[in-house]
Amino acid sequence: MNAVSDYKCGYVALVGRPNAGKSTLLNAWVGQKVAIVSPKPQTTRSNQLGVLTTDKWQVVFVDAPGMLRAKHALDRVLVASAQQALVEADVVLWVADVSRMPAAEDERLAELVRSRIGNRRLLLVLNKADHLRAHRVLPNTDAYRALAPEAEWMLVSALRGDNLDRVLARIVELLPVGPQLFPDEQITDKHLRVLAGELVREAALYSLHEEVPHGLAVVVEEYDESDPALVRIEAMVYVDNDRHKGIVIGQGGSMLKVIGSRARKEIEELVERQVFLGLRVKVRDGWRTDEREVARMGYGDARELRSGDGDF
């Protein structure tokens, strides 16, 4: 642990609407997958930490769930998690999809950011520049800058790596002087058991129809790494109705095999060992609207939210 007097360390919150590319940015900076990614909204369901450490500074990135209108208990927990990251951060990165013009949700997010961060520094990170057509560069960037006129801004591409080093350098400049918070070798606060469950959910997000993933959760029931050559994992995939259960399983178990195969490869890369992955599917009717079930799935407790938390 570094304790030099001029060492810099702090929390950096990545906030934005769903599918803005926050998780892809986090993984790119950390250099390893610590947050799952997919083309579907609500991929990130909790604050994901990614830690980047040098001998002069440590950046603790917090990838927050995408900000969205809360329709049920799960949504309220996700929004409250993002709000918490916003309040606790030393630096805030508002990540926006610059390939699209701002919508009403972006205006609400701008208001929320202004009201929550006080004097802390805000960087407007205009992501997906690789999808931005030349004739839309000025209109789109001007529209986002108008929502945060005092913020520094930069065009980036998380996929191509455009300007990521420049944003990181500016983040480091803005960090407060303080002691290192995590050991040099630590890159996330998530246990392998939790990451394995997230990788199963990521595989499902890539493989399933649009309406299914929002009602899907994964709970790892057994994680056994006692064998130095093999990690054994048993996970339950929860869905919120019988029709979705049939879709997830597929004819003759075909879809579940696809999900399991993809997830197993990702988990093997993570743990650097062979993996046995057993998946089962169970219906938990309407779990997203039930505060107890939301907590049971590992997404926090909606009953503990204060008045106003989870509103967007």
6-19 tens-digit pLDDT:
999 999 999 988 88
91-97/121-127 β-pairing: parallel
Q: Which CATH architecture has domain 8-174?
A: 3-Layer(aba) Sandwich (3.40)
Question: Which is higher by pLDDT, 279 or 87?
Answer: 279
Query: Does residue 147 contact residue 102 with C-beta atoms inside 8 Å?
Result: yes
Distance of alpha carbon 180 from alpha carbon 53, whole angstroms: 9
Spatial strand order of the sheet with 230-239 comes to 217-227, 230-239, 274-283
Query: Does residue 108 contact residue 16 with C-beta atoms inside 8 Å?
Result: no
* pLDDT bracket for residue 78 (50, 70, 90): confident
Please determine, for residue 302, whether its predicted confidence score (pLDDT) is greater than 60.
Answer: no
Please determine, for residue 2, whether its predicted confidence score (pLDDT) is greater than 70.
Answer: no
Query: Does residue 164 contact residue 28 with C-beta atoms inside 8 Å?
Result: yes
Tokens of 61: 């990135």
Q: Dihedral of the CA atoms 197, 200, 202, 205 (nearest 10)?
A: -130
Distance of alpha carbon 78 from alpha carbon 76, whole angstroms: 5
Distance of alpha carbon 287 from alpha carbon 294, whole angstroms: 6
Query: Does residue 139 contact residue 101 with C-beta atoms inside 8 Å?
Result: yes
Residues 6+ apart with CB under 8 A from 304: none
Distance of alpha carbon 94 from alpha carbon 162, whole angstroms: 17
- Could you state, in order of their start, the residue ranges of all structural domains in the chain? 8-174, 192-304
Tokens of 181: 């918070």
- pLDDT mean across residues, the chain: 88
Please determine, for residue 116, whether its predicted confidence score (pLDDT) is greater than 60.
Answer: yes
Q: In this structure, which CATH number among 3.30.300.20, 3.40.47.10, 3.40.50.850, 3.60.15.10 belongs to the domain 192-304? A: 3.30.300.20
Query: One-letter amino acid identity for 13?
Result: A
